[in-house]
Chain A
């Protein structure tokens, strides 16, 4: 079923869409909002010209606006590779081989020369260019393109793109979770449409968004949050359709014990009671009114009958006061509704998956949330550091109720593949964080050390050297 003109609309950018700006290996999430300036790689520009164009289109930035990039520009700067050297034995790097000065280049830029043309100028004015080897010339051109290219590509957001963006731009915000580690989490957690997944993360919403993308709007996701309210700015960047948000619930960590004990209702579903932070937030939102609040509130109640006799200015203030009170009530009501909706999803203790990725110590988080999982369901815990996961592993072994525990991390190596120039680039290893994964099983009575054949004991349950075989077949 080939697509036709009608299907195009879902691939075209609209006002309000979330996109990811890309130049080379640099990414940045943005939203197309008319008259809103965006800064990317030291350039300010508006995005509204992108509306109506397809995603993945490359634009030139001219005069602060996007212009469609003509395909003819994509040609190589140096098509005639006739003149090239053999090696660099006679090339002296004295910094004087480029005749154009920085001011000259600025002038060219101001003249309105395209990136391509500037690069050609640089080549023409370089005394050593013709002596470089073909490969060195290639490298030189690539480097200049990176510096003087004026283009930006607008991508449709996806887990892959956003994970790479966050890792490159703001790793601290996502607890240094590298994108290959995130990929492992989503698969080990068996995240799929129609399941019920619990997520606890402090990764700006990236992990939550990734889970939601893999659920496709089917099933439900409950985000557990530690403090006043869930943080999920990153989820917006995914640009999910509105109905996805109907599957997303949130539940405060501080009420989990009550939920497990079945005492949640008795505590009175008053969200503001034990979440002082939110109250502070609300007060900040309406500082002036609140401060004047108390005496005026009283006077409002006692003098409700006399409202006609009040000055028009005071009437206005009263109206605003009432409106604010209404708003506050509405918000509390909504919060209550959300809380009981989330509680209803969780209280069956039959969640299908658990994903933890936060700056908090993973041990108590994991132990506290595991009881919400059904038996024979996977869980994945991410930690930037290995030791907390060793603790988790140990506690889980002591407690029982889980099998197939694995403490791992992934190594990621990128390669440059070019004719006669293929070699590895960088190797990313421990810096991407660690994962502990496992599967729940029916929790029976605490098991004594069972006399299993082959002299197995508790410590033998830990991965035995035999595991080497499973991984050795990889290299077969």
Chain B
């Protein structure tokens, strides 16, 4: 198991994702002899997990669960938050708009809880590298532990420093730079020097429009081109079977009403309701996460 490579069976030391229901998933570190409590009962790692295929159904005392192979997407919805994280919708857009692919070298700050980091590593594997900067010491250490546990440590370097003061720790090597920090305009210069001489892509994520304005101005000042700001929102559709009752307009003739009623009851001619399969949207359309600003560094 690795977050960048599939394997067939669950082994000790793996991080597996226990799927309980649509909105309930939890990561589990597989260890011989260990047990994990779920709301459907106890999972015994040695009997229920190790050696079984990923995707297996495991019965517990009060129901069942499925054990899934970890992916960055499943990790994003089940990881322990140390900070506000980026979700798959934004991550997907960032990945494509930064032209990330196997072999890409990427610089990122702040690392935060590592949600985007895992997705980047998966995309740039096996030949790329992620340089990620986090100014909070504990978070930097925690995320480094996780990278090792998830068997992707060899593709990432975590630096505990302030990107606005000290940059990314590398220069002229990156194909893409990603910024998710309070003052991205202070890091634009560092982003420029981290990028390869022949150019590259950069992205800044900011929740507030004022931050976006300052960042765009900084991009322009530093000679970036193709500056583009957008936001992407996810609309979820819940599939539901809905029963719509049919009104009763009475029979054709009032005189025969009693007769007809008797007939109808026997023959069930007019259904009382129609069942339709449709989708409904949650009460509120998902809110704003942040604005994504992309730009291209031309050759210097």
Which residues of A are interface residues toward B (Cβ below 8 A)? Answer: 1-3, 7-8, 11, 54, 56, 158-160, 163, 179-180, 182-184, 186-188, 190, 192-195, 213-218, 350, 352, 374-378, 386, 390-391, 393-394, 403-415, 417, 419, 422, 429, 434, 439-442, 444, 450, 452-453, 456, 459, 461-476
Interface residues of B in 23-76 (CB under 8 A from A): 23, 39-40, 53-57, 62-64, 66-69, 71-73
Contact status B293-A417, CB under 8 Å: yes
Contact status A461-B8, CB under 8 Å: no
Contact status B57-A442, CB under 8 Å: yes
Contact status B62-A453, CB under 8 Å: yes
Q: Which residue of B lies closest to A440 (CB)?
A: B55
- Report the separation of the CA atoms of residues A453 and B21 in the bound assembly, to the nearest whole angstrom: 12
The answer to the question of B299 belonging to the interface, with a C-beta cut-off of 8 Å to chain A, is yes
Contact status A468-B284, CB under 8 Å: yes
- Report the separation of the CA atoms of residues A390 and B125 in the bound assembly, to the nearest whole angstrom: 35
Chain B residues in 8 Å Cβ range of A412: 230-232
Chain A residues in 8 Å Cβ range of B21: 456, 461
The answer to the question of B79 belonging to the interface, with a C-beta cut-off of 8 Å to chain A, is no
Picked from A190, A214, A414, the residue with its CB within 8 Å of the CB of B229 is A414
Chain A residues in 8 Å Cβ range of B217: 419
Chain A residues in 8 Å Cβ range of B68: 376, 403, 439, 441
Contact status A467-B230, CB under 8 Å: no
- Report the separation of the CA atoms of residues A172 and B91 in the bound assembly, to the nearest whole angstrom: 27
What are the interface flags for B216-246 relative to A under an 8 Å C-beta threshold, 1 for contact and 0 otherwise?
A: 1100000000011111111111111100000
Contact status A407-B239, CB under 8 Å: yes
A94 to chain B, nearest CB (A): 36
Chain A residues in 8 Å Cβ range of B91: 187
Interface centre among A192, A415, A439 (most CB of B within 10 A): A192
Chain B residues in 8 Å Cβ range of A160: 96-97, 99
Chain B residues in 8 Å Cβ range of A393: 239
Chain B residues in 8 Å Cβ range of A456: 21
- Report the separation of the CA atoms of residues A3 and B227 in the bound assembly, to the nearest whole angstrom: 25
The answer to the question of B164 belonging to the interface, with a C-beta cut-off of 8 Å to chain A, is no
- Report the separation of the CA atoms of residues A474 and B171 in the bound assembly, to the nearest whole angstrom: 33
Contact status B99-A408, CB under 8 Å: no
Interface centre among A54, A187, A386, A456 (most CB of B within 10 A): A187
Known: A415-B231, A419-B217, A450-B64. A470 touches B77 (CB 8 A): yes
The answer to the question of B172 belonging to the interface, with a C-beta cut-off of 8 Å to chain A, is yes
Chain B residues in 8 Å Cβ range of A11: 198
Contact status B230-A450, CB under 8 Å: no
Known: A215-B102, A375-B54, A413-B230. A184 touches B216 (CB 8 A): no
Known: A160-B96, A163-B96, A464-B23. A442 touches B88 (CB 8 A): no
What are the interface flags for B88-107 relative to A under an 8 Å C-beta threshold, 1 for contact and 0 otherwise?
A: 11011101110101110000
Interface size class for chain B? 35 or more
The answer to the question of B181 belonging to the interface, with a C-beta cut-off of 8 Å to chain A, is no
The answer to the question of B278 belonging to the interface, with a C-beta cut-off of 8 Å to chain A, is yes
Chain B residues in 8 Å Cβ range of A441: 19, 55-57, 66, 68
- Report the separation of the CA atoms of residues A452 and B64 in the bound assembly, to the nearest whole angstrom: 8
Contact status B286-A463, CB under 8 Å: no
Contact status B39-A453, CB under 8 Å: yes
Interface centre among A190, A422, A467 (most CB of B within 10 A): A190
Q: Which residue of B lies closest to A194 (CB)?
A: B5
- Report the separation of the CA atoms of residues A179 and B97 in the bound assembly, to the nearest whole angstrom: 10
Chain A residues in 8 Å Cβ range of B73: 187-188, 190, 378
Known: A216-B127, A375-B53. A183 touches B93 (CB 8 A): yes
Contact status B237-A408, CB under 8 Å: yes
Q: Which residue of B lies closest to A406 (CB)?
A: B236
Contact status A403-B23, CB under 8 Å: no
Known: A186-B95, A404-B19, A417-B229. A462 touches B240 (CB 8 A): yes
Q: Which residue of A lies closest to B237 (CB)?
A: A407
Known: A179-B96, A190-B72, A417-B213. A403 touches B66 (CB 8 A): yes
Q: Which residue of B lies closest to A401 (CB)?
A: B55
Contact status A56-B212, CB under 8 Å: no
Picked from B40, B53, B236, B241, the residue with its CB within 8 Å of the CB of A407 is B236
Chain A residues in 8 Å Cβ range of B288: 474-475
The answer to the question of B135 belonging to the interface, with a C-beta cut-off of 8 Å to chain A, is no
- Report the separation of the CA atoms of residues A268 and B263 in the bound assembly, to the nearest whole angstrom: 62
Query: Can you list 9 A-B pairs, Cβ within 8 angstroms, ordered by A?
Result: A1-B173, A188-B88, A193-B125, A390-B237, A408-B235, A413-B233, A441-B68, A462-B240, A464-B23
Chain A residues in 8 Å Cβ range of B216: 417
What are the interface flags for B5-27 relative to A under an 8 Å C-beta threshold, 1 for contact and 0 otherwise?
A: 11010000000000101110000
Chain B residues in 8 Å Cβ range of A2: 171-173, 196-197
The answer to the question of B271 belonging to the interface, with a C-beta cut-off of 8 Å to chain A, is no
Chain B residues in 8 Å Cβ range of A439: 19, 55, 68
Contact status A378-B71, CB under 8 Å: yes
- Report the separation of the CA atoms of residues A463 and B235 in the bound assembly, to the nearest whole angstrom: 13
- Report the separation of the CA atoms of residues A410 and B92 in the bound assembly, to the nearest whole angstrom: 11
Q: Which residue of A lies closest to B201 (CB)?
A: A160
A426 to chain B, nearest CB (A): 10
Contact status B56-A453, CB under 8 Å: no
Picked from A391, A452, A469, the residue with its CB within 8 Å of the CB of B40 is A452
Contact status A414-B289, CB under 8 Å: no
Chain A residues in 8 Å Cβ range of B123: 192, 214
Known: A190-B71, A464-B23. A183 touches B237 (CB 8 A): no
- Report the separation of the CA atoms of residues A186 and B93 in the bound assembly, to the nearest whole angstrom: 10
Chain A residues in 8 Å Cβ range of B87: 474
A10 to chain B, nearest CB (A): 9
- Report the separation of the CA atoms of residues A403 and B25 in the bound assembly, to the nearest whole angstrom: 11
What are the interface flags for B283-298 relative to A under an 8 Å C-beta threshold, 1 for contact and 0 otherwise?
A: 1101111010100101
